[in-house]
């Protein structure tokens, strides 16, 4: 997290951890959320299949509202365009991929995700 403060930038996982640390530093419970984000192509462009990836944000416990989800990467409250997959104390609790690969050291994991609203899926 020191590097995030030093360069004043980071990926969604970094920004979620900064938000969690800030909330916890003032005594508010906070959790890491892993999921997906519905992305829209720029005007005039077609939607690329498999172009989306996992996303991260955080939740803070805010009585009387309960858990309030915040997306610091996009500077928005989480909405119906965010799909929660899991939550935990930090990234280590909810890593989207885990396991053991046997063999050489040159393996690469390549993941693509499509988030499409149900009413837009062809029958």
Domains of the chain as residue ranges with CATH: 2-41+48-93 (3.10.620.30)
Encoding tokens for residue 92? 């280590």
Task: Provide the pLDDT for residue 3.
Answer: 75
Q: Please tell me the chain's helix, strand, coil percentages from 3-state DSSP, rounded to the nearest 5.
A: 20, 30, 50
pLDDT in tens, the chain (123 residues): 677 767 777 888 999 999 999 999 999 999 999 998 887 777 887 776 655 778 899 999 999 999 999 999 988 999 888 889 999 999 889 876 666 767 767 767 676 777 777 776 666
Q: What does each C-alpha distance from 106 to 10, 96, 98, 101, 102 come to in angstroms?
A: 26, 20, 17, 10, 11
């Amino acid at each position: 997290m020191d590097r995030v403060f030093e360069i004043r930038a980071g990926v969604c996982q970094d920004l979620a951890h900064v938000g969690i640390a800030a909330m916890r530093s003032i005594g508010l419970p906070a959790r890491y959320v892993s999921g997906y984000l519905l992305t829209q192509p720029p005007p005039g462009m077609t939607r690329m299949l498999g172009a989306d990836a996992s996303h991260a944000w955080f939740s803070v416990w805010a009585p009387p509202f309960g858990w309030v989800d915040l997306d610091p990467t996009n500077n928005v409250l989480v909405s119906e365009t965010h799909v929660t997959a899991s939550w935990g104390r930090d990234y280590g609790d909810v890593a989207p991929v885990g396991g053991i690969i046997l063999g050489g050291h040159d393996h690469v994991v390549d993941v693509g995700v499509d988030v499409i609203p149900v009413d837009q899926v062809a029958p």
